[in-house]
Copies of this chain bind each other. A is one copy, B any other.
């Protein structure tokens, strides 16, 4: 899922986004609550109509954003209290409120409101927080007004403590939810820990339900998580990199501002079917980036999203063709040195 924080995937029209092959888009509950407010989105007929996207959508719960706020926040059993960075108002966010907002936004998939502890954290703190996240999930299930229209996913927390992850996964699986997410990864821990968390958690979640690894990722993280059973991802990498002039090509990251591209009249990626690669040269993209022309960010976003979608399409085809582990061996079995670095 490309990330459409404020009801748009930055720099892309829905038509351009659909042409990348992306099917599902994530939007952020916290951001949309602050601006324009869920009331306006609901009046517009829901997120799909508001932003002109008629394919599946998912909203996060706002938990991750609230817990990332530097502004003072208070966590109690009831929920979270924080100061709005928009107007300084105090906002109460119990789990029920997050679900109420997500009901109003109207995405196809909504997420339970979870506590997202920082990394690193003590085991006792994670244990307490994971237990509270489970109690909040039960309140979210009760608060959810449209279970027949919006699928509510639970979120496995547990930090880097694999036994806590496993316990949470088993608890959630018992609830027979329409989908499951692994949260609280890629929050600063080393890559080999992400691998361990995903490999210890994903197989414990029901294989016949969507399994979603939140906030991931890179080519490497995606392919390894899929090997562990994950189906769904969201990440700002393709669009954020684009706005920094970085293109994803053949699993590498290219800074297109570099002088080597100034007179390179070949396509960005000659194997890529996207509009950018079919229409423009590296020299042109380099020129636009050097001039800080906004069009550069659109063209690179088109390519980067297409590249990541194509990567998952290649993985799907390899799985169906029963050649996944061979075809993606270099990603799945990197040398030890690569893992540790």
Contacts of A8 in B (CB 8 A): 288, 293, 295
Interface residues of A (CB under 8 A from B): 6-8, 10-16, 35-36, 40, 43-45, 50-52, 262-263, 265, 275, 279-281, 283-284, 286-288, 290-291, 293-295, 297-299
Contacts of A280 in B (CB 8 A): 52
5 A-B pairs within 8 Å (CB atoms) are namely A8-B295, A10-B294, A40-B287, A44-B265, A44-B284
Of A50, A291, A295, most buried by chain B (CB within 10 Å of CB) is A295
Q: How far does the Cβ of A141 sit from chain B's closest Cβ, in whole Å?
A: 31
Contacts of A50 in B (CB 8 A): 281, 283-284, 287
The answer to whether A13 touches B295, judged by C-beta atoms less than 8 angstroms apart, is yes
Expressed in whole angstroms, the Cα–Cα distance for A93 and B8 within the complex equals 45
The answer to whether A40 touches B262, judged by C-beta atoms less than 8 angstroms apart, is yes
Expressed in whole angstroms, the Cα–Cα distance for A40 and B263 within the complex equals 6
Q: How far does the Cβ of A138 sit from chain B's closest Cβ, in whole Å?
A: 34
Expressed in whole angstroms, the Cα–Cα distance for A294 and B280 within the complex equals 21
With A10-B293, A279-B14, A298-B298 known to touch, is A284 a contact of B43 (CB < 8 Å)?
no
The answer to whether B6 touches A287, judged by C-beta atoms less than 8 angstroms apart, is yes
Q: Taking the full assembly, how many copies of this chain does it contain?
A: 2
Apart from A10-B295, A50-B287, A52-B284, list 10 A-B contacts with CB within 8 A.
Answer: A7-B287, A8-B293, A10-B293, A11-B295, A13-B298, A40-B283, A43-B265, A44-B283, A50-B284, A294-B298
Partner of A287, one of B10, B36, B291, B295: B36
Contacts of A286 in B (CB 8 A): 36
Expressed in whole angstroms, the Cα–Cα distance for A295 and B8 within the complex equals 8
Contacts of A44 in B (CB 8 A): 265, 281, 283-284
Expressed in whole angstroms, the Cα–Cα distance for A236 and B298 within the complex equals 20
Expressed in whole angstroms, the Cα–Cα distance for A248 and B212 within the complex equals 44
Question: Across the two chains, which residue of chain B brings its CB closest to A290?
Answer: B35
Expressed in whole angstroms, the Cα–Cα distance for A64 and B297 within the complex equals 29
Q: How far does the Cβ of A43 sit from chain B's closest Cβ, in whole Å?
A: 6
Partner of A11, one of B7, B52, B298: B298
Contacts of A298 in B (CB 8 A): 11, 13, 294, 298
Partner of A294, one of B43, B45, B288, B297: B297
Expressed in whole angstroms, the Cα–Cα distance for A50 and B195 within the complex equals 44
Partner of A36, one of B283, B295, B299: B283
Question: Across the two chains, which residue of chain B brings its CB closest to A279?
Answer: B52
Q: How far does the Cβ of A25 sit from chain B's closest Cβ, in whole Å?
A: 13
Question: Across the two chains, which residue of chain B brings its CB closest to A281?
Answer: B44
Q: How far does the Cβ of A40 sit from chain B's closest Cβ, in whole Å?
A: 6
The answer to whether B13 touches A275, judged by C-beta atoms less than 8 angstroms apart, is yes
Expressed in whole angstroms, the Cα–Cα distance for A298 and B16 within the complex equals 12
Q: How far does the Cβ of A296 sit from chain B's closest Cβ, in whole Å?
A: 9
Contacts of A12 in B (CB 8 A): 295
Partner of A35, one of B16, B51, B281, B291: B291
The answer to whether B43 touches A263, judged by C-beta atoms less than 8 angstroms apart, is yes
